[in-house]
Structure formats: C-alpha cells, structure tokens
Structure 1
Amino acid sequence: MTIDLFPDLRAPLARMTNDAVDALVTQYGALFETISTAILSVLLVVEHGLRAVPPVVLIAAVGAIAFYASRKPFFSVAAALGMWLIGALGMWDQAMQTLAIILVAVAISVVIGMPLGIAAASSAAVRRILMPLLDLMQTIPSFVYLIPAAMLFGLGKVPAILATVVYAAPPLIRLTDLGIREVDYAVVEASRAFGATRWQILSGVQIPLSLPAIMQGINQTTMLALSMVVIASMIGARGVGETVLLGLQRNDSGMGLVGGLTIVVLAVVIDRITQAYGQRLQRHRKAGA
C-alpha cells in the first residue's frame, strides 16, 4: 500500500493564480494601461533626450557631475574616460537605452521608497508591516518579479521597469527609515520647542540630516536596478542587457564580453559618483555637528 505523502497543491495554486490575474486584467485593465502609458511616455522622453545629446557633451557632463560629487579632478577624468570607453566599444546607443531605464526605475523607487521609509520611521505599526514585506521582496529571486509584471503589463520596457522597482526599492526604504530614526532626538526636540510643525521638522531637520543614509540607499537601489538589466532584457527591455543575452544565446563570447564590460563600466561610474556625493554629505554633516 502506497501512502501519498504529498497532496496536490500545484494544480489548485496555478488555477487560483491564473484566475486572480484574469480578474485583475478584466477589472483593472484600463488602470494598468494608463500606468503603462504614463511610464512609457516618461521613459521615451528620457531615452530620446539621452540619445539626442551629442556623446561629447554627455561625456563632459558626466565628468562635471563626478567632479561636483567628489571634488577630485582625477576621478572626474576617470568617469569621463569610462563613458568614452562605452562609446569606443560601440555600445553608446544601447548604454543610453539602459541608462534611461535605470533613471526612470530609480526615480520611481525614490518617489515610492522615500515616503514609505519616512512612514516607517514615524510609525512603529507601519514599520512592523513593512519590514516583513521588504524581507520578502529581497528574498524572492529577481527573475520571479518578471512573471507578474509581464502578466499584467505584457512584454517590453514597462514591465521591466516595474519589476526593477520592486527588486531595487527595499534598500532605499530601509536606509531612509534608518537615517531618519538616527537623527539626534535632542535636535528634533529643540526644533519642536521653537514652534516648528511636524512637516517643518521633517523637511528642515530630519531629511537634511539623514541625507547621507538616503544617498546610500539611492546608491544601493541604483546598483540593484543595474543588476536587473540582463534579466529584464528577457522580456524585451533592450539596451545593453539585450547584447549580453544575444551573446549567450549565440554562444558569442566576444559579444557577451562587450556587453558585460559596458555594464561594469556603467556600474562603476554610477556607483562611484553616488558614493562620492554621499561621503561628501557625510563630511558636511560631521563638520556642522
């Protein structure tokens, strides 16, 4: 006699999931279409803007931003050379597509993540609810995020951006929460004693003093967004990730290396600029303490 140790949960779970997705698409299809159109419109503006700028101008702009963030001439030149190397590899256009996706995804993450981080820092109840959700978002493999995004929004850049936001936003939420909670309580109380409102304390004291932590969160979010580039290309996000994916599919090591090197250069340039600016803010904060 054979004992059936495992009940059949696969079929009911799959059926429930499909029914739920069908119901969402049927009832809220217009809403999803509106969201998709809005995100795609912003993305196209950013992407066309980046691709329209002459490479020499953008390379100079990256060097200027690097100098503003670090105040180090050598770092400024190195960042500009990194962008020049992307063009020399023949990946400039693809890099601009990828950069547009990252900028839009990070912007959405900031718009969503900072208020949630502030809410978590202000309310213990909100924090108790958010933390397990963030743990879940950071534990689930990144590829899994593409499935519901593709189901609800189809294939293309919009579901790739939304999946990237879900994957990349948790560090920003956590570090915003941490930064605000670490603001000196005496400073907050002094502001309250001078008659500052709750909004004035938040905008004039807590957020400015927690900017180094918030910048670190933005840095981590940007790096996670960049790590989704290749995975997002599987649902039509294009850009540098598509080059890497094609290299893998065609067993073309050279193409894969060029795409991978482009991603590495982008990651290093963005990471060093955001980290340098965060460290600069940290030094200013310590100097003013």
Structure 2
Amino acid sequence: MANSSWLTEFPDMSRRELLSFRQTLDGAYRDFSREYGDTIESLFDPLLSFLIWFEDLLISTPWWIVLGAVLGLVYYASRSLKLSAGVLVSLLAIGYFGMWEDTMRTLSIITVCTLMSIAIGIPIGILMAQSDRARSIITPLLDIMQTMPAFVYLIPVVMLLGIGKIPGVIAVIIYAIPPVIRLTNLGIRLVDTETLEAATAYGATRSQRLFGVQLPLAMPTIMAGINQTIMMALAMVVVASMIGVKGLGQPVLKSITNQYFTLGLLNGLAIVALAIIFDRVSQTYAKRAQKHLEGSNHG
C-alpha cells in the first residue's frame, strides 16, 4: 500500500519541482534580459545600420539598375545565358505582380544572413576539422540547432532584443548556419592525406596547407553547405515575419490570418523563385570553380 501511495504522489511532486524549476529559469532569463538587453542590442547597432542602408539602397535604386546588377552577377557566377534569361523572367514577373519592394527586403535580409553565416560558420567548421575535441563539443549543438522547431528560436531572441530586424536576423542565422559548419568540416576532412603529405614535404606551413590546399579542395563541399544555408534562411523568412521582419514573409502571414489565398500563393511563389535563383547560381558557380581547380591541377 505504501508503495502504491508513493507512486500516486510521485507525479505531483515531480510536477511541482518541474514547475518551480521552470519558473526559476524564466525569472533568471527575464532578469538577464532586463539587465543586459539594451547593452547587447547596442552591440548589433552597426549590423542594423548596414541592413537598413542595404535595404534602402535596393528599394530606392531604379528597378532596371537592380535588375541589371543581379543579371550581371548571375551571368558572372554561372556563365549561362539560359539561367540569366530565367532570372530575368522571374524578376520581371515579381515586379509585374507588385512584389518588388518586399522581394528587395527579403533579398537584403537573406544576403546579410548568408554573409554572416559564412563569416561565422566557416571558421567554426575549420576548427572542427582541425580538432576532434572541438568536433565532439560542437556536433551535439548543431544537432540541437537543426532539430529544434523554428518558432522556438524566436522566444529567447524576442525576450532579449524585442521585435524588429536584428532579432529576426539572429533567429535566421541560428536556424540556417549548421549546414555551412558541418560541410566545411566534412570538406576539409575529406581532403586526401597524400596531398597534405606532399604539401608538407614541400615545406608548407599549417596555414599554407589550410589556405593553399585544404580549403580550395574542400570548396565544392563548402559551396554545398552555403547553398543549404541559403535555402534554410529563405525557409525561415516566413517565420521571422512574425517578429516584424518585413519582406515576402509578411504577406504570407497576412494571407494565413485573413485567408487571402492568391496573396499567399503569389508571395510564396516569389520566395520559391528566389530560392531557385540562389540554388542554381550557387550550384553552377561551384561546378565552374571545381572544373577550374581540376584544370589548374592537371596543368
């Protein structure tokens, strides 16, 4: 009897302890955000200024200049007239259906998030490739980041920094950065040991081996990671619109709450068009870089 009463009391005890633990954690994080939130937010002021400047530049510049610049970049990266024509048709359709400004806002956010993810992710990937201990610590964190529902990232960021562009950018980066870290680590580890031994025999230092041999040979794999990061950042745009990130995500959110089927469909297709453009251009650039590298190696 005593045993059965213990079993019935145990869930109530565990619930009370869990509730107390959660309240303690919530209170501690709330106090931390009140104490240091403004200081942490001020650290991101330069990034916010750059983001606002870049967004205003894309929106205020005449559409035909932006279109020409995008087509120039696409052709430079891909050397494909067919792909450039596809990008031209997609962007003209986006402009025709009145989604140009929102597309430029989304483009600015994705560009900044991708550059930040590359700047943070590649060094972490290099660290993982050069240290098994670092890999054993970082890999579980990446697993958590990739399996955590996207909405969960918004909670601590909004509590700490409020609503706006910077919380959205941080949430997008956290969600999108794991692929570039993982594939940088993988690409460097896959470099042939004989090639590294040959470089060492020629007197190459550790940094010379990294920048002259490992990173160039790992570049196709790293580019695949960057490609996946861009795709995940675009997927996060709609979720980030819930905390005030303007762009193509907000009309999609509006269409869900007000049941505007056409508005949601058109803006969704615009996000798809951006995703396909980024995907094709980055993949084609990676293939060209690989061919160029193989050609120079054979030469």
Shorter-chain TM band: over 0.9
SS of match in other structure, 1:237? coil
State whether residues 164 and 228 of structure 1, in contact with CA within 8 Å, keep that contact through their aligned partners in structure 2.
yes
- Which 4+ stretches in 1 moved above 6 angstroms? none
Q: CA deviation at 1:125?
A: 0.3
State whether residues 30 and 159 of structure 2, in contact with CA within 8 Å, keep that contact through their aligned partners in structure 1.
no
State whether residues 36 and 153 of structure 1, in contact with CA within 8 Å, keep that contact through their aligned partners in structure 2.
no
Give the letter for the 2:172 counterpart.
Answer: T
Q: CA deviation at 1:30?
A: 4.4
State whether residues 37 and 161 of structure 2, in contact with CA within 8 Å, keep that contact through their aligned partners in structure 1.
no
Taking only the aligned residue pairs, the percentage that are identical comes to: 43
Q: CA deviation at 1:5?
A: 5.2
Q: Within the alignment, does 1:3 sit opposite 2:11 as a pair?
A: no
Q: Within the alignment, does 1:157 sit opposite 2:179 as a pair?
A: no
Residue 66 of structure 2 corresponds to: 58
Between 279-288 and 245-254, report the one with greater CA deviation: 279-288
Between 107-116 and 273-282, report the one with greater CA deviation: 273-282
In 1, Cα distance between equivalents of 2:98 and 2:276: 18
SS of match in other structure, 1:208? helix
Residue 175 of structure 1 corresponds to: 183
Match of 1:230 among 226, 229, 238: 238
SS of match in other structure, 1:3? helix
Match of 1:34 among 38, 42, 48: 42
SS of match in other structure, 2:116? helix
Give the letter for the 1:86 counterpart.
Answer: I
Q: Unaligned 5+ residue runs, structure 1?
A: none
Residue 128 of structure 1 corresponds to: 136
Residue 205 of structure 1 corresponds to: 213
Q: Within the alignment, does 1:166 sit opposite 2:174 as a pair?
A: yes
Between 179-188 and 228-237, report the one with greater CA deviation: 179-188
In 2, Cα distance between equivalents of 1:284 and 1:117: 24
Q: Within the alignment, does 1:100 sit opposite 2:100 as a pair?
A: no
Residue 225 of structure 2 corresponds to: 217
Bigger radius of gyration, 1 or 2?
2
In 2, Cα distance between equivalents of 1:13 and 1:146: 22
Match of 1:49 among 48, 54, 57: 57
Residue 250 of structure 1 corresponds to: 258
**Alignment TM-score, normalising by the size of structure 2:** 0.91
Q: CA deviation at 1:69?
A: 2.2
In 2, Cα distance between equivalents of 1:34 and 1:101: 19
Residues 81-116 of structure 1 show CA distances to partners (whole Å, capped at 9, x for unaligned) of: 111111111000011111111111111111110110
In 2, Cα distance between equivalents of 1:72 and 1:257: 29
**Alignment TM-score, normalising by the size of structure 1:** 0.94
Between 119-128 and 179-188, report the one with greater CA deviation: 179-188
Give the letter for the 2:283 counterpart.
Answer: Q
